[in-house]
Amino acid sequence: MPIFRLFRITLEALRFVWDGALGRLGLSRSVPRAPERLRLSLERLGTTFIKLGQAMSMRRDVLPDAYIVALQALQDHVVPFPTKDAIEEIERGLGRPVGELFAEFDATPLAAASIAQVHTARLHDGRDVIIKVRRAGIKQQIDRDMRALTWLTRIALMLSPRLRHYQPLRIVDEIWSNLSKEIDFRREAQNIKRFAVAFAEWPTLLVPDVVDDLVCETAIVQERSGGLRIDDPAVKSIGPRLAQNFVDAYLHQIFVLGVFHGDPHPGNLFITQDKRICFHDFGLVGFLDRAARRKLAAFTIAFIRQDADWLLDAAIDLGVLGGDMNRDEFRRGLAEIIADYAALPLKDWSLAEAFLRVTRLGRAQNIFVPLDLLILMRAMFLAEHTVRILDPDFQLLENLQSKGPEALKGAMEQSDWTGALDRLKLDAITAAHDLPTVIRSWTRQLVQEGDGLGLSLHVRELRGLNEHIDRGSNRLALGLVTLGLYIAGSLLMQHSVGPRIFGDMPALAAFAYVLALWFTFRLVRGIARSGKL
């Protein structure tokens, strides 16, 4: 890890703290507020930290709204990199010269971002395509920066053990893992193909497919399409119909497919000439298995029916609420949320906002909401915003009440019950097969020991007790050894025993002190990590 980069990140962090101190003391009136300072710091640190900020902007459950707004404003548009580098990446990844791959290739980028840029081209069969090509060296840059961030996070935890409650290392690891997936265009190609197949027969939707055999880790070739942005005035006349088509598509994605587009902002949606909604950019996609879909369906129905008890159980099952909780306190909080919405017109109800408010009830207990639920929360906010653009008077709640039950059937598919019954049948057969062996074992134990059957008791609260006792014993032993080394070093120093170094210092005494200091450091670090003396 380059020391210069670690120093640069540390310097930017100190600058953020220093500017904040100046602002609080009133020594500078030009210092922006903390959310804006954070955004500027991340932009100055470059690609990795821009993506880090964008990932943190999904943590509505933890961060205040002001930080969410600031992080969502991070600028991801940068100066395009040289076309020569783009061509080299394309040829290296796809294994053929650009002249063989394409009949025409536009050297001027159509768009550029921090991770990749887009060129247009035409295949030899006449199809117009776009090529998304990754910046050279971006993977190494991300790995370097995330290693530096991990080091700084560890140092911060040593200085302030209270931060452990927020699991910063786990969050950093998750963001690092997701960034590595995002820059692998083979995963995005799989997502595009999945959506293209799922909506191939839908007359209201278009997903431009990838070109087979023209996909690699660093480049992806996709059929080109476009049209009007959803906020274009020319779309207004058909806005209500498009809003309904959009909601139908998302209900199908979430409750039937179990995979959904996680970034439906206006820049990723176009209206084609034949009045279809066209989806672009499948770098951010969320996944919900059948169990998660059923739980989300229960949450949605409980919210619509304004049932606080059911909503609490659904939120716990979904993983939105967790940890040690006072059910009565959470139930009162949910009842308050429901009462607030009951006082609003139906057109102003927001499932996304309700989902966020429920999540924030558990902010102190459940810091680590599952990633796919964070992506779902982001998608819900953006989707509701998109619906309001297309049709400001769209009755979202009424639509969920009327169209929801049909879509929710996907979360209770017959194949799911069939699979569950097959598994139950297999488990029953296995248990019946093993039963004679278990009975023989019990009988043998009764005959040989004559004292009845032995039962083992497992107490969850004592699950780590042995480990804690061992750790405490080890620390005590290490502390005694360290104390003995300090005493031995002092005696050797006093009596000048053994050879000498640095003039008159006994070498054995110096060795004893160095070893004792190292053990002391280990003890302090271990206590700091546990957060307990």
Judge residue 206's burial from the number of C-beta atoms within 10 Å of its C-beta, 0-12 exposed, 13-18 middle, 19 or more buried.
Answer: buried
How confident is the prediction for the chain on average, in pLDDT? Answer: 79
pLDDT in tens, 317-338: 887 776 666 777 788 888 888 8
Query: Looking at the predicted structure, is the pLDDT value of residue 284 above 90?
Result: no
- The answer to whether 114 touches 51, Cβ cutoff 8 Å, is yes
Query: Looking at the predicted structure, is the pLDDT value of residue 132 above 90?
Result: yes
Q: What SS3 class is residue 105?
A: strand
Task: Please state the domain extents for the chain.
Answer: 3-75+141-181, 229-412, 462-530
pLDDT in tens, 510-531: 777 777 787 777 777 676 666 5
Reported as a pLDDT band with limits 50, 70 and 90, residue 176 is confident
* Distance (Å, whole) CA 273 – CA 275: 5
Query: Looking at 70-84, 260-274, 282-296, which range is the least confident one?
Result: 70-84
Reported as a pLDDT band with limits 50, 70 and 90, residue 456 is low
Give, as one character, the DSSP assignment of residue 123: -
Query: Looking at 334-343, 355-364, 419-428, which range is the least confident one?
Result: 419-428
- What type of residue sits at position 325? M
Res 19: pLDDT:
79
Query: Looking at the predicted structure, is the pLDDT value of residue 277 above 90?
Result: yes
* Distance (Å, whole) CA 260 – CA 286: 5
Check residues 479 and 358 and name the one with the higher pLDDT: 358
Q: What SS3 class is residue 219?
A: strand
Q: How large a percentage of the chain has pLDDT more than 70? A: 77
Query: Looking at the predicted structure, is the pLDDT value of residue 463 above 60?
Result: no
pLDDT in tens, 429-442: 666 666 677 677 76
Query: Looking at the predicted structure, is the pLDDT value of residue 76 above 50?
Result: yes
Give the pLDDT mean for 170-184: 85
Res 415: pLDDT:
46
DSSP assignment string, 404-440: HHHHHGGGG-HHHHHHHHHHHHHHHHHHHHHHHHHHH
Query: Looking at the predicted structure, is the pLDDT value of residue 457 above 60?
Result: no
Res 422: pLDDT:
53
Res 102: pLDDT:
93
pTM of the model as a whole? 0.69
Q: How large a percentage of the chain has pLDDT more than 90? A: 18
Q: Which helix (H) or strand (E) holds 129?
A: strand 128-134
- The answer to whether 360 touches 389, Cβ cutoff 8 Å, is no
- What type of residue sits at position 1? M
* Distance (Å, whole) CA 34 – CA 77: 23
Reported as a pLDDT band with limits 50, 70 and 90, residue 454 is low
Give the pLDDT mean for 239-252: 91
Query: Looking at 160-169, 239-248, 359-368, which range is the least confident one?
Result: 359-368
* Pairing outcome for strands 104-105 and 116-122: antiparallel
Query: Looking at the predicted structure, is the pLDDT value of residue 414 above 50?
Result: no
Reported as a pLDDT band with limits 50, 70 and 90, residue 118 is very high
Residues with catalytic function: 263
Give the pLDDT mean for 173-201: 89
The pair of structure tokens assigned to 214 is: 């023209």
Check residues 215 and 157 and name the one with the higher pLDDT: 215
Res 487: pLDDT:
79
pLDDT in tens, 40-73: 888 888 888 888 887 778 777 667 888 888 887 7
> CB count, 10 Å around CB of 461?
6
Res 219: pLDDT:
93
